[in-house]
Amino acid sequence: MVEKLNFGIIGVGPTGGIMAAYLAKEGYNVVLVDINRNHMDAIKKKGLTITNLKKFKTKFPKKNICYSIDELQNKEVDTLFIAVKASHLKEILPQIKKVIEPGTTLISLQNGFDTEELIAEYVGEENSLRVVVNYAGNVLEDGIIRMSFFNPPNYLGVLTTNAEEKAKNLAEIINKTGLETIFTPDIKKYEWTKCILNSISPVCVTTRTTMKQTLSMEGTREICREILREGIEVARARGINLEPDFLEKSMNYLDKAGHHRVSMEADIEAGIPSEIGFLNGKIVEYGKIEGIETPYNKIFVSLIKGCELPPINRD
C-alpha cells in the first residue's frame, strides 16, 4: 500500500506546476509556493489549468497558496519538490531548512547536474532525491500551463540506498497520477542523458528559435550535434555507460520536440540568471577534469553569459 503524503512544491512554473496539478488531481494535498503573485492569485481564484497533451483543471485550498518559502512554516509538508531554476538553489536552501521539519524529504525537480548533492548538504543524503523529468511546457498566461510534450518515463533516484524505500514509494505515487515515473538505482546515467539533451538550449536562445527550427537548419543542426558529441564524450570519460549509438538516438529524440521554446530563453528575456552553469558549464568543467576539449560548449557558455548582462543605458 502506498503511503499518503503531504506535498509541497516550490516553483509553480511548467515543471513544478504540471507535477502539482497531476498530484492534486488524484486527491493529494499539495501546497504551492511561488513569488509570482499574479500567477498564484490566478491559481487561488480559478485553479491551475493544464492544456495541450492533457486538458484538465485542478483547484487548491486557498490556505495552500503561498507567496514565499516562509509561509511553508507549520504546513506539515513531509515531501517537498524544488522546481525553481538550479541557479537559485544556493539562495533558497537555507530558507527552506528554516521552515521544514527534520526528516522532510526534498526532491530536485530541476534541470542541470548535481542539484541533489547541493540539497544533501542541507538535509543529508537520506533526505535528498532526484527526478529526471521528461516532460516540458510553457506558462501561457497566469494560471494556465501548456504541456508541450512528455516522453515517458520520468526517472527517480537516490544518493544513498537508505533512501530507496521512500523513493520507490514516491515513484509509485507519481506513476499512478498519469505521469509515468520509475525508480532507478542509476540516476546519474539519466541525469547525464537529460543534461546532454538540454545542452542545445543555448543554440535556441542565441538564434531565437524553437527546437524544431534550430534542428531544421543545416548549420545550427550541425552545431547542436557537436555540442551533444562533446557532452557524450565527457560522460563516457566520467564512467557513464551510454549506448554506442546514443548520439543518433539523441538527435532523433530532439527532432520530436516540435516548436518548443526552451526555458533558458524565458530566463534571458526576464533578465534572470539562466541554468547555463549547471548545464553546458558543467560539461566544460568536467571536460577539463577529464582532459577533454569542449570548444562548442565553451563558446555557448560565454555567449549565454553575455546574454545575461544587463542592457546599457544609452541616455
**134 and 261, same domain (yes or no):** no
Q: How many of the other CB atoms lie within 10 Å of CB of 269? A: 12
| 133 grid coordinates | 523529468
Phi then psi dihedrals of residue 8, to 5 deg: -130, 150
Please say whether the beta carbons of 258 and 211 come within 8 A.
yes
How many distinct structural domains can be found in the chain?
2
**128 and 15, same domain (yes or no):** yes
pLDDT at 311: 81
Domain boundary among 160, 185, 210: 185
Q: Could you report the per-residue pLDDT of 212-224, keeping only the tens digit for each?
A: 999 999 999 999 9
Q: Is residue 129 part of a domain?
A: yes
**301 and 179, same domain (yes or no):** no
C-alpha–C-alpha distance, residues 69 and 296, integer Å: 38
pLDDT at 1: 44
Please say whether the beta carbons of 158 and 147 come within 8 A.
no
pTM, 2 dp: 0.90
* Domain CATH number, residue 58: 3.40.50.720
Contacts of 208 (CB under 8 A, 6+ apart): 265
Contacts of 178 (CB under 8 A, 6+ apart): 22, 25, 54
Whether 3 shows a pLDDT value over 70: the answer reads: no
Range in 96-110, 114-128, 261-275 with the lowest mean pLDDT = 261-275
Predicted confidence band at 17 (pLDDT cuts at 50, 70, 90)?
A: very high
Phi then psi dihedrals of residue 125, to 5 deg: -60, -35
Domain boundary among 130, 161, 185: 185
Distance from chain centroid for Cα 113: 10
Q: Could you report the per-residue pLDDT of 38-74, keeping only the tens digit for each?
A: 999 999 999 999 999 889 999 999 999 999 999 999 9
Q: What are the strands, taking DSSP E only, across 3-94?
A: 6-10, 29-33, 48-52, 56-58, 65-66, 79-82
The sign of the dihedral angle between the CA atoms of 260, 170, 104, 48 is: positive
pLDDT at 315: 60
Q: Could you report the per-residue pLDDT of 237-254, keeping only the tens digit for each?
A: 999 999 999 999 999 989
**96 and 127, same domain (yes or no):** yes
Q: Is residue 242 part of a domain?
A: yes
**238 and 173, same domain (yes or no):** no
Predicted confidence band at 180 (pLDDT cuts at 50, 70, 90)?
A: very high
Map residue 290 onto helix, strand or coil. Answer: helix
The sign of the dihedral angle between the CA atoms of 168, 171, 176, 181 is: negative
Please say whether the beta carbons of 79 and 105 come within 8 A.
yes
C-alpha–C-alpha distance, residues 242 and 284, integer Å: 19
| 249 grid coordinates | 538516438
Q: Distances from the Cα of 298 to the Cαs of 37, 279, 308, in angstroms?
A: 36, 11, 16
Q: Is residue 290 part of a domain?
A: yes
Residue-range definition of the domain harbouring residue 297: 191-306
Map residue 25 onto helix, strand or coil. Answer: helix
**136 and 31, same domain (yes or no):** yes
Higher pLDDT, 313 or 145: 145
Across 104-115, b (16+ Cβ under 10 Å) vs e yields bbbbbbbbbbbb
Q: How many of the other CB atoms lie within 10 Å of CB of 186? A: 11
In the chain the first and final C-alpha atoms are separated, in Å, by: 66
